[in-house]
């Protein structure tokens, strides 16, 4: 079921039992301590920029922190790697990047594609109401140049779908292929967790 959902929809839900309940509270406490040291991630450059790895960058604004031991434990959970491997069909999945993103009212992320080395990205809302992420699965198999040509002047494309950002429940998605975005945040504060996995041999090529 996990593999078929990934192939058909480019997403997969992580079962609740994969993450110990106590770890969520540890993560929330750690995020509170990391927040004062979070650094701005503000790209004001208009439009989309295609990179050689296939990623597409676009304007965004939030603050980020790479996290601490609690987030590291979450990223290294055996059950999470198993979900990543089952979904993508690649057995040697390894977390290569993870962190907290801190959103305040008005923060945003225009339509983009993630680093091409990221085979699957897991995300969830840790605190606050992160709502849903917009995305366009119908553009999944286009080249990045084709995607950029279609979305060059559409920060929040019409006709896209909504992928709910679940509260303390991870969802994996094909962020390296499916263009996605976050409309301006409508609340005072919210914390998002992201964990990116890849097949290590592919990453080292």
pLDDT digits (tens, 9 = 90+) for 45-68: 888 999 988 899 999 999 999 999
pLDDT above 80 for 31: yes
Tens-digit pLDDT profile for residues 129-149 = 999 999 999 999 999 999 999
Mean pLDDT score, 9-34: 97
Domain boundaries, the chain: 2-203
pLDDT of 177: 95
Distances (CA, A) of 170 to 37, 64, 131, 139: 24, 18, 14, 23
User: What does the alpha-carbon distance between residue 139 and residue 116 come to, in Å, rounded to a whole number?
Assistant: 15
3-class SS string, the chain: CHHHHHHHHCEEECCHHHCCHHHHHHHHHHHHHHHHHCEEEEECCCCCEECCCCCEECCEEEEEECCCHHHHHHHCCHHHHHHHHHHHCCCCEEEEEEEEEEEECCCEEEEEECCCCCCEEEEEEEECCCCEEEECHHHCCCCHHHHHHHHCCCCCCCCCEEEECCECCCEEECCCCCCEEECCCCCCEEEEEEEEEEEHHHHCC
The candidate with the shortest Cα–Cα distance to 172, out of 134, 124, 129, 117, is 124
pLDDT of 157: 95
pLDDT of 1: 78
Lowest mean pLDDT among 1-15, 33-47, 72-86, 189-203: 189-203
pLDDT above 70 for 4: yes
Give percent of the chain with pLDDT exceeding 70.
97
Give percent of the chain with pLDDT exceeding 90.
86
CATH superfamily of 2-203: q2cbj1_9rhob like domain (2.60.120.620)
Mean pLDDT score, 40-45: 92
């Amino acid at each position: 079921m996990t593999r078929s959902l990934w192939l058909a929809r480019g997403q997969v839900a992580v079962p609740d039992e994969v993450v110990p309940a106590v770890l969520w509270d540890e993560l929330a406490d750690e995020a509170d301590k990391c927040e004062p040291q979070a650094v701005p991630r503000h790209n004001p450059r208009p439009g989309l920029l295609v990179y050689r790895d296939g990623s597409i960058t676009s304007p965004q604004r939030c603050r980020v922190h790479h996290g601490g031991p609690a987030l590291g434990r979450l990223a290294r959970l055996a059950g999470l790697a198993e979900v990543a491997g089952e979904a993508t069909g690649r057995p040697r999945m390894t977390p290569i990047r993870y962190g907290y993103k801190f959103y305040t009212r008005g923060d945003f992320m225009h339509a983009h594609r993630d680093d091409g080395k990221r085979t699957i990205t897991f995300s969830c809302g840790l605190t606050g109401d992160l709502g849903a992420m917009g995305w366009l699965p119908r553009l999944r198999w286009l080249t990045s140049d084709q995607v950029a040509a279609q979305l060059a002047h559409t920060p929040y494309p019409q006709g896209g779908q909504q992928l709910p950002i679940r509260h303390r429940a991870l969802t994996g998605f094909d962020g390296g292929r499916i263009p996605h975005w976050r409309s301006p945040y409508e609340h005072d504060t919210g914390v998002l967790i992201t964990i990116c996995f890849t097949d290590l041999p592919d990453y080292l090529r």
